[in-house]
Amino acid sequence: MLLLVLNPGSSSLKYQLRRIGTSEAKPGILLERAVNSPQEGTLDPVFLGNAFDVVDAAIQDVTGGTSPDAIGLRVVHGGDRFSSPIRVTPDVIGTIEEFGEFAPLHNAASMACMRAAATRWPRTPQVAVFDTAFHRTIPDHASRYAIPEELHTKYGIRRYGFHGISVEIVCRDAAAFLEVPVGSLNAVVAHLGNGASVTAVREGRSVDTSMGMTPLEGLVMGTRSGDLDPSIITLLQRRAFGPDEVDELLNHRAGLLGLAGSADMRVIQDAARHGDPRAILASDMAAYRLAKYIAAYNMVVGGAAALALTGGIGEHSSRFRTQVISLLEPLGLFIDEHRNYSGETGIRIISTDASAFPVLVVPSDEERAIAEATAAVVLSDGSADRSLNEA
């Protein structure tokens, strides 16, 4: 089966072409690229039309004229409606639109992508794979906020969590590496990139996560503030900041960018090494917040069997990993600097043998997870014979 995996951002479209057989464990990558929009913002139909010209030409070049058998798309917010991947229909798109307020740039981009793909490949079934789905197992005492019941019921205010596609595939790969069933894995997983979150995984299921109703809550991120006193928002509004201005400030001008002038951890670590006080503060704050969440989630899972670090920063920033693990020595975790700076790739242990449990670096492969989920849906419901336009 030839699968096209689409991962739309607010101003870019990452895509992969993968081939997977019914008995293959891992689909092989035939093509992997990205198309960037010249303007920041939701992907518009004109850009997507041009982008799919590029994608289609690349597919034809690789396959010699074959169209994809199915298309899998990452969707950031599925709200409380979607607990698993689902074939895309007009009704599904409508429901995704309902949750657009919680992730406006991301969900709008996904919907635009679905419609443009249906125009380009009208006979090809599409499958939506949701970042929030893995976190549907979080119990009420962890997912609910202490607000009046009617607000929760009327507006769907609760913790949804994100990065679920990444966390789920990391758990599967970590369990295989540790040679334990994924259903018995107790772990803390930190997805660390421009967006960052920590998830408590107990018996292979998400039981708590640092992001909340939107991706704003939790860790110090590239441009997001993470946790802050809600009264700061009301204070800013009293100082003539409108809702959209506050949203733009906390999502796009805060975090590492607001603290150090850069959202790139590589730039910040380099500046910190040269003694830049803003960079040192930003790095210290990000590491401290992350270590607090990891320590708390070790309690939540009843004692972790592993700590897994993934995402661009988790996989590549040895210095930041050292900074975080050094704060976790009270948990019995100690960094092995030779392992940490070895330059190895793939899943690996970076803690000492004397540590209470292993600290793993686990490359995240969201596209592989999307491809496998797409193939499973298409093969199980026969949707390879039905397109979005025919649904």
Give me the sheet containing 86-87, strands edge to edge: 28-36, 12-19, 2-8, 70-75, 126-130, 86-87
Domain shared by 169 and 132, yes or no: no
340 φψ region: left (φ > 0), alpha (ψ -120 to 50), beta (else): alpha
Domain shared by 189 and 296, yes or no: yes
Domain shared by 219 and 295, yes or no: yes
Domain shared by 80 and 182, yes or no: no
Q: Quick one: what percent of the chain has pLDDT higher than 70?
A: 94
Domain shared by 258 and 385, yes or no: no
CATH number at residue 214: 3.30.420.40
Domain shared by 132 and 259, yes or no: no
User: Which pLDDT belongs to residue 99?
Assistant: 82
CA atoms within a 13 Å half-sphere pointing along the CA-CB vector of 189: 36
User: Which pLDDT belongs to residue 33?
Assistant: 87
Question: 23 pLDDT exceeds 60?
Answer: no
Closest residue by Cα to residue 377 from 367, 386, 389: 386
Domain shared by 188 and 118, yes or no: no
Active site residue 131: yes
The contacts found for 115-118 with CB under 8 angstroms, 24 or more apart, are 115/45, 116/45, 116/48, 116/49, 116/51, 116/52, 117/6, 117/52, 117/71, 117/73, 117/388, 118/387, 118/388, 118/389
Closest residue by Cα to residue 321 from 304, 306, 305, 339: 339
User: Which pLDDT belongs to residue 42?
Assistant: 59
For the residues 293-307, what does the mean pLDDT come to?
98
Question: 385 pLDDT exceeds 80?
Answer: no
Domain shared by 175 and 114, yes or no: no
Domain shared by 207 and 298, yes or no: yes
Q: Which domain holds residue 68?
A: 2-159+368-390
pTM above 0.85, yes or no: yes
Domain shared by 155 and 170, yes or no: no
Give me the sheet containing 205-209, strands edge to edge: 205-209, 196-202, 187-192, 306-310, 359-361, 348-349
Question: 387 pLDDT exceeds 60?
Answer: no
User: Which pLDDT belongs to residue 109?
Assistant: 85
User: Which pLDDT belongs to residue 35?
Assistant: 83
Task: Give the chain's domain count.
Answer: 2
User: Which pLDDT belongs to residue 388?
Assistant: 55
Domain shared by 128 and 193, yes or no: no
Domain shared by 240 and 345, yes or no: yes
Selected catalytic residue, list 69, 131, 208, 365: 131
